[in-house]
Each structure stands twice: as C-alpha cells, then as structure tokens.
Structure 1
Amino acid sequence: MNDMERIRRSRFPVSAFPRFRQFNLPVLTGDAVAVAVLAALLLFIAVNLQAGWVYAVDALLIGLLAVASLSAGLGIRGLTVERTMPHEAFEGDAVPVTFRILLRRGRRYFITLHDAFPGLRPGTARFPVCDARSPAAQSYQTVALRRGVFTAQTVEAHSSGLAGLFIFRRRVRAPGALTVFPRYAVLEEFRVPGRTGPDAASVPRPDRAGLEVAGVREFRDGDSLRHVHWRSTARRGTLVVREFEHEAAEAVALLIDTRIEPYGADPSGLAFEDLVRAAASIAHAVTRSGRPVQLIGARGTQVSTTEAGWSQALHWLARVQLHGALSPLEVYRSAVAPGTPVVVCSADTDVPAAFAQRGIPVAAVLVDAASYGDRGDSGDSSGEMVLEALGIPLALLRRGAEVGACLASLSR
C-alpha cells in the first residue's frame, strides 16, 4: 500500500459511508435504452424546430425514465424477507422454499427474489404486488443436488419498478439452513464380516416384547409405537423407544477412508460421494436389523466416531468430507477394540489387505476412482485379485453402476 492510498483510507474510511456501501447502480433494460435514445432524438428535433408539442412529448419520455428509475430504486428499500424451508432432505428430493415479504409501509411492485442456496438448484420467486397491510408469500420448488450441511444468510432482491425499464439489485437478509443426506439403496441382507450363523446376517427383525427393559434407543423402522418412551422423546425432540435386553446387539463398525490421496484420479469428487452412498446403504441395512452402527473416519489428525441409529448416522454421513490426515489403520486402532470386525470403504485396495494381514475380520467397499476421471478408464485390477485371494468380501463401485447392485456381492 503506497502513501497516497494510506492517507486516502485514513481520511475517508469505508465504514464512514454505510449507505454508500449498500448503493447499487441500476441496470438498464433494452426498453430503457430505446426510450432514452428516443428522448434524446426528440430533444434534438425540438431544439431545431422549436416545436412546443415536441418538447412536451420529450418531457413525457424523460419523466417516464425518472419515474421508472425512482420506483425501481425505492422498490427494494425497507424490505424484510422471511424464508421457510425444510431442515432436512435427501439427495434428489424436491425441496419447497417459501418467501414472505413484509413492508413497513406502502406498496411495492414487480419484485423478484433470486435464490442461490448452496446445495440446491437455483430458483426465483416473483411478487407482482407487495402491500404493507398483508404480507405477500410466494413459493418455488427446487431439488437437493448434493449432500452436506448448508446455510445461507441472504437472498438477492430485484426490483423493476412500475415500468420495468430499470432493475435495481440488493442483498436482503433471509437466513436458512438445510442438511442434505446421501441417497441410499435398500439392501435385502447384509452379512457382517467375521460372523457366522444367525449373527452373520443383518435382516429386518420383527418386533419383540415381554423381556426386561435394558434402556432406551432411537426409533427404528419396524418398532412398535407401544414401546415409545414419551418422556425421553420430548426431551430429545426425536422418537425414542424402550430397548429390551435381547436387542442390545453389538455395533457394526463402518470405517470411511477420508484421505484425499486415494481419490486423486477423480477430480470431480463423485467417487467419494458414491462411497458415502454405499456407506449409507450399509448403515440402513444394519440399523434396520436392530443393530447400531459405529461410523468411523478422520477429520484432520482427529478421529471422528459415533455409535448411532439411522437418524444420527445420516447426520454423520452428511458431514463427512475428505479432510483426513490419518491412515485407516490408525483410525481403527484409535476408535475400536482390537479384532473388532469392520467394513472399510476406500479407493485404496491396500487398505483392506492391511486389515486382513493383521487378522482383523474385514469386508471392503472399494470405489474405482479412475473410472470417474476424465477418460473414464478402469484402474488396475490386480489389487482386487489380491483381496479375492485373501477371502475378503468385496463390493466394487464404478461410475454409472447402481450402488445397491454393487453392494449385493457382500451378501453372497
């Protein structure tokens, strides 16, 4: 920063002009340009002909431009916008968004709200008339494009005024929050690695009753409403049911490799998203069978883990990102007891092989990151052959393949 720039900023700080910072120049439409050119042409003719009626017509055109600009500029002043939308959705779900405009006084015309909410397809809501006496409401329907936790604080308001010759833009506060969960496939069965007999398969379990109560847990599909613990439900804000002694099953460990290096062949990030959808499908199958699922991953050098039911698992999976700085083995050793069976989700074939070589019961969900690249070529299959030779149950995801169909190989 040179001396002149430093002096200018010290004498005229930006914070001294809060109104100037929010000022937006109008955008002229094609009609406004045409009217302005016509007004200039008539003024030239009137000066040369000295015809009074030409002056009058020219004055009307200039007045039209002035009124159009003034009405458009005032149209976005004093607006209060409220946003109403669901707090949760799945990828691909339709998401309705409603805006209400409240005015302190007066009336506004032709206001359009352009909404570019993160994670959603952009949309618009148009308000032909807004009156201070009755708040106006308009809705639009959009689609959840990708998983994640998203927030927005503002929406862009456009005002075209009475004539529609000028457009003024302004950011208006309209906070909102949305959690988008990953899509999942419904699996008929999922076999837990390292288990044999009845404990190996995770299938939907019918409701049972009549045994001693061991505690409470989150509501799962198939639970009877007779077992709802209403006091805990009111305290937590979500359905909670009594858990009986026979239901206290061991959690299934599900580890997601969150290092960015194994997915380097896919610049789009779609390979990791399909891997998260596969993890969600397994978590759904496990929790539907009555078992909790233990989700494990790395966030930087910290281990993120939770033992949860279906709802909590969705929230964990919505937040997981490629921020890990620990190897899957390091994460495993920090999160679970030695020898605990685990389902590993990764793009690196060496990861499940390392678990098997240490005697850890493991099943692998691998994603072929190379198939998601620009060329779409499949990667080297030698790693898959090694896993098959080690007897590791394996599901392989490739671009364009249905996640549920790929995971079916884990139940064979």
Structure 2
Amino acid sequence: MKNVAGFALTVSALFLAVVSVFIQAPALFYMGTALFATIGACNFQAYLSVRGLRFERVAPGSAQLGDVVTVEITVWSERKLRRPLITVLDRLPQRLKVNRLSPSLPIAPAYDLPVRTQYQFEAARRGVYRWKGVTAVGTDALGLVTKTKDYETDPAEITVLPRPIPVTVDMPLAAGWGISEAESGQTRGAGIEPRGIREYSTGDSLRHVHWRSSARAGRLLVKEFEAGTHAAAAFVLPRRQGSDIGPGPMSSLDLMCGHAAFLADRLLRQGARVEFPALEVAGRSVSTHEREAEILELLARIHADTNVSIGSDAVASLERLTPGSVVFVMTALPEDDLVGAIGALSQRGITTVALLYDARQFDPKSAATACDPAYIASIQGAGAHVEVMEASEGS
C-alpha cells in the first residue's frame, strides 16, 4: 500500500508538470515541482532510516517441537539521526519450518542507545538450524517510500528437539533378562551401583528416597541404581540417503524419532540402559534426566544423508551390546542386508524388535515398503519380533 501511494504521488506530480507545460500554467508547474521535492525528500529519509545500524540477536539454544520460540533483536544506531519507525526481518533458514510467525514490533533506533524488539514462531520440524543476517525495512515519516537493507549478524543456532510420540509396542522376552521386567519397572533400582537421582514416581520404595536432595528441591527425589540384570536396549534408525520418506514436517524419519524418544524415555525411567550405537560413542554414566536430554539431542541431529545401510548399523551395534540386550530397528523401506544383520544379532543372544513403517503412507508413489508381507516374513524368519507401525500414530 505504501509503494502504491508513492507511485500514485509520482504519477500525479508528473501529470501536473506535463499539463502545466502544455497550458502554460506556472501554478501547476510549481505544484508539480513541490510534489517531486516531497517525493525526493521521502526517498532520502527512507534511505537514511536503514543506514548505519548494528544488530545483535538472542535466540534460545534449543526448543522442543511445537514450542513457541521467542527471538530478541537489539538494534543500535551508529549515526546521530532522528529515525522514523523501522521493522527488522530475521532471515531464518528455509529448512526451518515454522508456524504462526509473528512480525517484530516496529522500533525507532536512537544513537548509542540499544532498542529491543522481538518476534515469535512455533518450531514445526526437528533439526539443527543456523542462520545469520537480518533485513531492516524503513519508511519515511509520511509512509510513502519503503527502503530495505541487509545486515550480517553473529551466527545464531537453535536445536529443535523432537517431541516424544506415544506408541504401543509389545515387548518380547529377551534372553538373559526379561524386557517385560523393564516394562513393569522391576529392574529399576535393583542393583547396588548408584546411577543418579530422579523424581519420585508411584511404586518407588521409600528407602531409596534421597532426603537431603528432596529437602533442597522441595519434592521427593529417589536414588537410582544400575539395573542388576544389566537391562540394555539400543535403537537403530535409517541414515542412508533416500530412506527418509515423505515431506516434512512429519516424514518417516521424523515419526521414527518421535517414537524412539518415547520408547527410550520409558525404558530409561524403568531402569534400562539405552544406547544409539550409530549416533554416539559409548558415554559416561549419567542420570536419567541427563540421558533423556542427550537422546533428544541425538535425535534432533539425525538425517538420512549417508551411504550406510541400516543393516550395517545394526551389525555395528554388536560391539556395544551384551547377550540379553534388545535392539529396536526402524525402517520404512525393505533393506536387503537387514535380514542378515538380524540373524547375526540373534546368534549373539540379542533380540531384535523390527518397527516397520509403510512407506506408501508417507509417499503414495513409493515403489517399495517395509510392510510388504514377503519382507515381513523374511524378517520374522531371521528371528525378529515385528511390529507394523501406523503413520497416524502421532502424525
């Protein structure tokens, strides 16, 4: 609308000037000249309004999927100018999918005096995003002319963590320890090696309450021990190029990350040790809360951008797991080498739970799917416990 007003005023001034020449009317000529001068002054003021600025951005380091993120931008004027209101547009990366992006509040930067503005958006897809640079949009006092100028800023980074998506999985019995024990929480706190402190939940023994920490926190906290049965679970997600099916914000890999986050959280709270062998090296023992945060960070960073097959990742997990462990393998496509990997895990006494997703639910044009009956039969024949997942679960 502002550009239309400026254009209309320019056309009017030009029309008056032309008419004044044809009919020899000095008054119209002076009027047209005054309009041209006004337009020139407006252009100059709008030009100056976006020059000589300095910006600093403050963004949160992480947010969970669906959270409202607030980004604050501080603006300094490096020139002694009386500026009209300007608007600051942050140049967010195109990969960052957002909902409900609010405009930043208009501000009038003053010399050597920081002025703050902010905007908000809802993070709509997991991942790690980096960006730098803003665009200043300024107008003249009359609002007839709009000028913009791009500025570079210090890089900002935000990690959008996946949100756990509830899912129901029937746990099989694992050799060496019953995964059903983890389901019922019987392994939690059964050992003697301290693991950390966590919040009290129904069913915990009062003899494990850490009274000193509870007094400081104002709520019941209990001591957590390494599970005496050495319960362990590992998750293997697809990382090969082309294995992530469907567009965002809920592709097959995005849904898998949400399911993995939910299952990992449940197993951790039940005392099991949870690993992601393909995404991390063996780490130190940490509390349940710290481990939950680490897992969400890992899941935020995973992308299907390697040449490594899911079968190779599953076989590689053998070095980290002991007999009696359980490996959750997630895939939407039939991976040929996964059948052999499941056989190798089974020979070591490691149970495989194959969570299979229908690729055609994410992309109807997909030529293959892990939910093909023949592929399911081959997976089961190799010794895996198969669960067919629905895209509607959390999508």
TM exceeding 0.5: yes
2:152 to 168, 173, 179: 173
The answer to whether the Cα contact below 8 Å between 2:238 and 2:330 also exists between their aligned partners in 1 is: yes
The reply on whether 1:283 has 2:275 as its aligned counterpart is no
The answer to whether the Cα contact below 8 Å between 2:333 and 2:368 also exists between their aligned partners in 1 is: no
1:352, CA displacement in angstroms? Answer: 5.1
- Give the TM-score, by structure 1 length: 0.74
2:340 to 336, 349, 354: 354
1:120, CA displacement in angstroms? Answer: 4.3
For residues 133-177 of structure 1, the C-alpha deviation after alignment (integer angstroms, 9 at most, x for no partner) is: 653323222110111111111122211222222222222234321
The answer to whether the Cα contact below 8 Å between 2:380 and 2:386 also exists between their aligned partners in 1 is: yes
The reply on whether 1:314 has 2:277 as its aligned counterpart is no
CA distance in 2 between partners of 1:335 and 1:53 (Å) = 88
1:261, CA displacement in angstroms? Answer: 4.4
Residues 4-403 of structure 1 mapped to structure 2, 5 A cutoff: 29-104=3-78, 105-118=80-93, 119-121=96-98, 122-132=101-111, 134-174=113-153, 175-186=155-166, 191=171, 194-195=174-175, 199-203=179-183, 214=193, 244=225, 249-263=230-244, 266=246, 270-297=251-278, 304-307=280-283, 309-337=291-319, 339=323, 340-349=325-334, 350=336, 353-358=339-344, 359=346, 360-375=350-365, 379=369, 380-388=372-380, 392-399=384-391, 401-403=392-394
CA distance in 2 between partners of 1:271 and 1:198 (Å) = 30
1:85, CA displacement in angstroms? Answer: 2.6
Change in CA separation of 1:275 and 1:221 when aligned onto 2, cut-off 3 Å: farther
CA distance in 2 between partners of 1:97 and 1:386 (Å) = 50
For residues 49-90 of structure 1, the C-alpha deviation after alignment (integer angstroms, 9 at most, x for no partner) is: 443432332232112111111111111112122222321112
1:196, CA displacement in angstroms? Answer: 7.0
Runs of at least 5 residues in structure 2 that lack an aligned partner in the other structure: 214-221
The answer to whether the Cα contact below 8 Å between 1:181 and 1:318 also exists between their aligned partners in 2 is: yes
1:361, CA displacement in angstroms? Answer: 1.4
CA distance in 2 between partners of 1:397 and 1:136 (Å) = 51
Aligned to 1:19: none
The answer to whether the Cα contact below 8 Å between 2:177 and 2:229 also exists between their aligned partners in 1 is: no
Aligned to 1:8: none
Secondary structure of 1:77's counterpart equals coil
1:116, CA displacement in angstroms? Answer: 4.0
Give the count of matched residue pairs: 360
CA RMSD of aligned residues (A): 3.8
Change in CA separation of 1:171 and 1:395 when aligned onto 2, cut-off 3 Å: farther
1:183 counterpart letter in structure 2: R
1:82 counterpart letter in structure 2: E
From the two aligned structures, give the one with the greater strand fraction. Answer: 1
CA distance in 2 between partners of 1:354 and 1:170 (Å) = 58
For residues 235-272 of structure 1, the C-alpha deviation after alignment (integer angstroms, 9 at most, x for no partner) is: xxxxxx97645579443111112112445x64668112
Secondary structure of 1:183's counterpart equals coil
Q: Which moved more, 1:341-350 or 1:82-91?
A: 341-350
Aligned to 1:23: none
1:398, CA displacement in angstroms? Answer: 3.8
Runs of at least 5 residues in structure 1 that lack an aligned partner in the other structure: 1-26, 229-240, 298-302, 405-412
For residues 3-48 of structure 1, the C-alpha deviation after alignment (integer angstroms, 9 at most, x for no partner) is: xxxxxxxxxxxxxxxxxxxxxxxx9811111111111111122223
CA distance in 2 between partners of 1:41 and 1:218 (Å) = 80
CA distance in 2 between partners of 1:197 and 1:331 (Å) = 23
Change in CA separation of 1:381 and 1:210 when aligned onto 2, cut-off 3 Å: closer
Change in CA separation of 1:259 and 1:375 when aligned onto 2, cut-off 3 Å: closer
Secondary structure of 2:277's counterpart equals strand
Change in CA separation of 1:58 and 1:112 when aligned onto 2, cut-off 3 Å: same
1:199, CA displacement in angstroms? Answer: 4.7
1:60 counterpart letter in structure 2: A
The answer to whether the Cα contact below 8 Å between 1:372 and 1:398 also exists between their aligned partners in 2 is: no
CA distance in 2 between partners of 1:247 and 1:68 (Å) = 77
CA distance in 2 between partners of 1:183 and 1:94 (Å) = 13
CA distance in 2 between partners of 1:342 and 1:252 (Å) = 6
Change in CA separation of 1:202 and 1:167 when aligned onto 2, cut-off 3 Å: farther
Change in CA separation of 1:376 and 1:242 when aligned onto 2, cut-off 3 Å: same
1:113 counterpart letter in structure 2: V
The answer to whether the Cα contact below 8 Å between 2:231 and 2:273 also exists between their aligned partners in 1 is: yes
1:182 counterpart letter in structure 2: P
The answer to whether the Cα contact below 8 Å between 2:161 and 2:299 also exists between their aligned partners in 1 is: yes
The answer to whether the Cα contact below 8 Å between 2:315 and 2:341 also exists between their aligned partners in 1 is: no
Instruction: Give % identity.
Output: 22
The answer to whether the Cα contact below 8 Å between 1:344 and 1:352 also exists between their aligned partners in 2 is: no
Secondary structure of 1:125's counterpart equals coil
